[in-house]
Structures are given as structure tokens and as C-alpha cells.
Amino acid sequence: MKALVLPLVLLASPALADDLVFFRSPTGNIACMIATGDYPAARCDVMQVTRLSYSVPPADCDLDWGHAFEVGPVGKGAPACVGNTVASPDAMELGYGQSVELGGFRCQSEKSGMTCVNGQGHGFTVSKAAQKMF
């Protein structure tokens, strides 16, 4: 699976803007954002994991690997090679069974983890115990 190598982006602090939303799971272990500006994507970072599904970074990743997952407007979700986090102190809590939509992306919080998809139905599901790309 090809990893996404993301540019280092300084993330603003508001939980909700016209083109950016930050949210987290009720436990706070999964932090996410949806952005629709210059680099449209849905991304989630898993703060603590009991098992990494993607523990071996690709050769071209010299940043952090194994905790960030992303899907763009087209194509499948993938682990992301990142040098930042999407965790925001102002992120809204997305309760279990709730979802957030912005710019063709949709993320849903469940007790089993967070699922984010693009308009094509591709994306990822992440939790403390497992991470799945589709």
C-alpha cells in the first residue's frame, strides 16, 4: 500500500470553520479533522494503540508513521507519513453514533472506532485495536 506523504501544515485552533473542522472521539484517543481548502482531506490520528496494522513505514517516510490515517477526495484511505498532529484543544467531541460532514467527506464516531469516507465511499476505520483502509 502506498503511503501518503503530507506537507507540514500548521493547523488553526478553531473547532469549526467554513473549510476546516476538528473533532475527537468521546475518549479523546482519536483526533480528527476534515479540511476542504488547498489540501482537501479527512484525517484521524490515533493517540494510543494496542496494535498497529501498519507498523513498517515506507522507505520514503522520514517523519512519524503508524498513527495517522487519511483519505483525499478521490481514491482509497491510507496511512500517512506526517510531522504534525490534528489534535486540537478546541476540537468538538463527536459522540458515538454521530457524524460530521464537510466538502464531500463524512466521518462517523462509533464505540468501535472512527470511520471517515470520501464521496466515492473510500476511506478508513481506526481504533485503538485496529486500523483498516478501504
Q: What are 32-53's pLDDT values in tens digits?
A: 999 998 999 999 999 998 888 8
Please tell me the predicted confidence (pLDDT) of residue 3: 46
Beta bridge partners of 90: none
pTM above 0.75, yes or no: yes
pLDDT band at 129 (very low <50, low <70, confident <90, very high): very high
Q: What digits encode the pLDDT tens for the residues 6-35?
A: 433 333 333 445 799 999 999 999 999 999
Question: Is the model's pLDDT at 132 over the cut of 80?
Answer: yes
Q: What digits encode the pLDDT tens for the residues 39-94?
A: 999 999 999 988 888 778 899 999 999 899 999 999 999 999 999 999 999 999 99
Please tell me the predicted confidence (pLDDT) of residue 7: 37
Question: Is the model's pLDDT at 97 over the cut of 60?
Answer: yes
3-state helix, strand, coil in the chain (%, to 5): 0, 40, 60
Pairwise CA distance, residues 41 & 7, whole Å: 12
Closest C-alpha to 60, from 2, 128, 122: 2
Pairwise CA distance, residues 87 & 93, whole Å: 12
99 phi and psi angles, rounded to 5 deg: -140, 165
Q: How far from 130 is each of 2, 103, 124, CA to CA, in Å?
A: 18, 27, 11
